[in-house]
Amino acid sequence: MSTSRLPLNILLAAPRGFCAGVDRAIQIVERAIERFGAPVYVRHEIVHNRHVVERLEALGAVFVEELDQCPDDRPVVFSAHGVPKRVPAEAERREMIFVDATCPLVSKVHVEAQRHHAQGRDVVLIGHAGHPEVIGTMGQLPDGTIALIETVEDARTFTPKDPARLAFVTQTTLSVDDTADIVAALQTRFPDIAAPHKEDICYATTNRQAAVKTLAAQCDLVLVIGARNSSNSVRLVEVALTAGADQAELIASAADIDWSWLDGKTTLGITAGASAPEDLVQGVIEAARERFDVKIDAVKVTDEDVVFKLPRILEEQSPA
């Protein structure tokens, strides 16, 4: 009986996986457990990946949805997605120790929104309803001063209180192309709308989408490793299909692969969302090697060297 395997060319996207904000958020939880001991509470999933969450739970992290599930006498970490202003205010009122793991690039959007509000503008947030980052950004301003726009159609029908005093900010993990279309629709209707000083969609989202665009048209199938509640991972699937991949699927790990997807296919693209660890990527590659004669080519669009500092509270000497 023949043991020869069919050839499979894997195009491996680079950059992929963890970004600096995710890496920092995970380190914050790990350092908080080292400094304060277990348990350390974390409001919301620190990043959108069950594998990451379960590993941190094993170290002593307890994940909750709201602050009222946390005791007063244990530290709490706020997730990388950011939180409404009321959350740290409540933690201060309760005299809790809290560590804010909000990605600095999300914090930049918060600062922009607050600056526009202070200058008398109403703010438009381009983003997805219900996403924690959107909830956090909208929670920086008083009700009625920030409006959510999700689609080009929303941009065409939106009615501001004062069209002459308007600004927009965006969620950091959106589709670059879809967002450009929404911004164009807003700018057509409101030529004086104030834009961010620098693009709000973060470097990691942009780079991962660029890598997928570069490889997608060459692929019979693109596998995106990430969670279903991870905005940037879901966008990568959409970008792959738009850029010409025959098929694109979101998987949490190699265990989710339906190998019939690869029947008759010769070129597989692989990438990972910004909250997916590299060991999951390697797990998919190993699973493919068990079934095919694999050849790997990297498709690199840029190098990433961004690093964010940890909060000062974690650099201080541990309590006695």
d(CA 120, CA 50): 41
Considering the domain architecture, whether residues 73 and 43 belong to the same structural domain is answered as: yes
Closest CA to 113 of 160, 158, 164, 169: 169
Q: Are residues 109 and 99 in the same domain?
A: no
- Whether 314 is in a domain gets the answer no
Q: Are residues 151 and 207 in the same domain?
A: no
287 lies in some domain = yes
Average pLDDT over residues 116-124: 96
Amino acid in the structure at residue 266 = T
308 lies in a domain? no
Query: What does the pLDDT average to over 154-179?
Result: 95
CA distance 123 to 146: 5
Cα distance between residue 164 and residue 114, in whole Å: 18
Cis ω for the linkage preceding 39 (within 30 of 0): yes
Q: What CATH number is given to the structural domain containing 57?
A: 3.40.50.11270
Residue 320 lies in a domain: no
Shared domain check, 141 and 81? no
**In this predicted model, what pLDDT tens digit does every residue of 162-173 receive, in sequence order?**
999 999 999 999
Whether 216 and 155 map to the same domain: the answer is no
- 121 falls within a domain: yes
Whether 194 shows a pLDDT value over 80: the answer reads yes
Residue for token pair 């964010």: 308
- Predicted local distance difference test score (pLDDT) of residue 78: 97
The two tokens of residue 254 are: 């190699």
| pLDDT confidence of residue 320 | 44
Q: Is the pLDDT of residue 3 over 90?
A: no
> Would you call 166 exposed, middle or buried from its count of C-beta atoms within 10 A (0-12, 13-18, 19+)?
buried
What DSSP state is assigned to residue 38?
S
| Residue 312 resides in a domain | no
Residue 32: per-residue pLDDT: 97
Cα dihedral across residues 64, 69, 74, 80: positive or negative: positive
* Residue 194 DSSP symbol: B
Residue at a domain's end among 159, 189, 219: 189
pLDDT tens-digit profile of 233-283? 999 999 999 999 999 999 999 999 999 999 999 999 999 999 999 999 999
Give me the domain span that covers residue 135. Answer: 105-189
pLDDT at residue 316 greater than cutoff 70? no
Of all residues in the chain, the percent with pLDDT exceeding 90 is: 95
Contact of 46 with 77, CB cutoff 8 Å: yes
Give the model's confidence band at 20: pLDDT under 50 very low, under 70 low, under 90 confident, else very high. Answer: very high
**Closest C-alpha to 248, from 236, 237, 259:** 237
Whether residues 181 and 249 fall in one domain: no
The answer to whether residue 184 is domain-embedded is: yes
The total number of structural domains in the chain stands at 3
**213 and 294 together in one domain:** yes
For position 318, what pLDDT does the model report? 53
**DSSP state, residue 298:** E
| 143-147 average pLDDT score | 94
Tokens coding 305: 């060297």
End position of a domain, from candidates 57, 75, 103: 103
Does 196 fall in a domain? no
Domain-ending residue, one of 73, 103, 133: 103
CATH number reported for the structural domain that contains residue 113 in this entry:
3.40.1010.20
In angstroms, how far is CA 233 from the centroid of its own chain? 7
Please check whether residues 166 and 79 belong to one and the same domain.
Answer: no
Catalytic pick among 133, 150, 315, 316:
133
Q: How confident is the model at residue 2 (pLDDT cuts 50, 70, 90)?
A: very low
Angstrom distance (rounded) from CA 42 to CA 44: 6
Residues 173 and 247 placed together within one structural domain of the fold = no
Q: Sign of the C-alpha dihedral, residues 147, 152, 158, 162?
A: positive
pLDDT at 88: 97
Report whether 87 contacts 44 (CB < 8 A): no
For the chain, the maximum distance between any two Cα atoms, rounded to a whole number of angstroms, is 76
Q: Residues 147-157: what's their mean pLDDT?
A: 97
Name the average pLDDT for the chain: 95
Those residues with Cβ within 8 angstroms of residue 280's Cβ, 6 or more apart along the chain or in another chain: 51, 225, 252, 253, 254, 272
Residue type at 208 in one-letter notation: R
In the numeric block, which tokens belong to residue 40? 């350390």
Residues 14 and 24 in one domain: no
What pLDDT is recorded for position 199?
A: 85
Q: Are residues 169 and 97 in the same domain?
A: no
Catalytic site includes residue 133: yes
Spacing of C-alpha 102 from chain mean position: 11
- Residue 197 in this model has a pLDDT that exceeds 50: yes
Which range is least confidently modeled, 43-52, 121-130, 229-238, 309-318?
309-318
| Cα separation, 65 vs 183, whole angstroms | 32
Query: Residue 1 pLDDT > 50, yes or no?
Result: no
- pLDDT attached to residue 198: 84
